[in-house]
Amino acid sequence: MSELHARIAGIGRYLPDNVVTNDDLAKIVDTNDEWIRERTGIATRRIEEDPEKGAAYMAAEAARVAIDRSGFAPEEIDTVILSTATPDRFLPSTACDTQAILGLPNAMALDLTAACSGWLYGLTMGEGMIASGRSKATLVVATEKMSGIVDWTDRATCVLFGDGAGAVVLAPANGDGTGIVSSFHCSDGNLGELLWRPAGGNICPMTPQTLENRDHLLKMNGREIFKSAVRSMAQACDEALSRAGMTGEDVDLLVPHQANIRIIQATAKYAGIPMEKVYVNVDRYGNMSSASIPVALDEALEDGSIQPGMRVLAPTFGAGLTWGAVVLQF
């Protein structure tokens, strides 16, 4: 194993209190609990009802826990990397809004957009900041208010997503073998329109017509996304494990992006990891985009699914298309 540069010093999550069941959704779209469970594995999801509690609010709630657990004071956090596909506004960045809420006076702050892969992308960027010596304490946050961009008239997509945030504080590795072991990331912009929001930018600004067509909301080609996700997450697992000098047999726990139980099962099968060694919470939270992996890691640490010394593989896939994986030693 090569020298480790960065470790997770603290981790935290935020989940809205409001639980929306499949039966609740059946009241607004033509669907039912059996249909949703069979195709996605999802039973409930968290939806933030308060319009004043946006992406920055959720990010700050998760980050406070991570910072407190890290042992760093707020003024010692020198970098904030924030992943979101659901910013509260286009300018300024959600990262800067989060910095202001938290009171981090000495931090540079920036947003990162890589959809569901964003937190893993941010984790690797943060590792680079630590390894270069330019950062001593990097906050990497993923925050997603997916309920704000979902088309609640589209039964194929509105059942999939939930709201939430997860955060870690990265610090220099301390020589005990814990930290980020390896990572792999890739993307293919040629497939961007498989999962996208057609309107709202410079090329297709919002107009009465685009609003009427609901083109400012999420659109997805589910069949093609499924095939691309399975193929890309398999590649990501292979590459990250190879770079770590490991195989699937060396993995103690698989913590994948929580998009769909069928994708999770296919990824585990390809990696040669039995489902009893896979952490799953998509049934309770749905797809929280880039927040899904940090939330799952925090839960797994809290409930004892991750113990000291365990090796964790975390693969992801998202719009862009983007994908990747990291290997973590706890």
Q: Kindly state the DSSP code that residue 149 receives in the 8-state scheme.
A: T
Asked if 260 is an active-site residue, the reply is no
Residue written as token pair 């270069």:
132
Asked if 186 is an active-site residue, the reply is no
Choice among 96, 185, 216, 257 that is catalytic = 257
Q: How many helices (H) and strands (E) does the chain have?
A: 11, 13
Q: Kindly state the DSSP code that residue 82 receives in the 8-state scheme.
A: E
What DSSP letter does each residue of 269-327 carry, written as one string?
Answer: HHHT--GGGB---HHHH-B-GGGHHHHHHHHHHHTTSS-TT-EEEEEEEETTTEEEEEE
Determine the Cα–Cα distance for residues 17 and 22; give it in Å rounded to an integer: 16
CB 43 within 8 A of CB 32: no
Asked if 213 is an active-site residue, the reply is no
Determine the Cα–Cα distance for residues 36 and 22; give it in Å rounded to an integer: 7
186: β partners = 323
Residues 6+ apart with CB under 8 A from 132: none
Choice among 22, 96, 116, 216 that is catalytic = 116
Which amino acids are annotated catalytic? 116, 257, 287
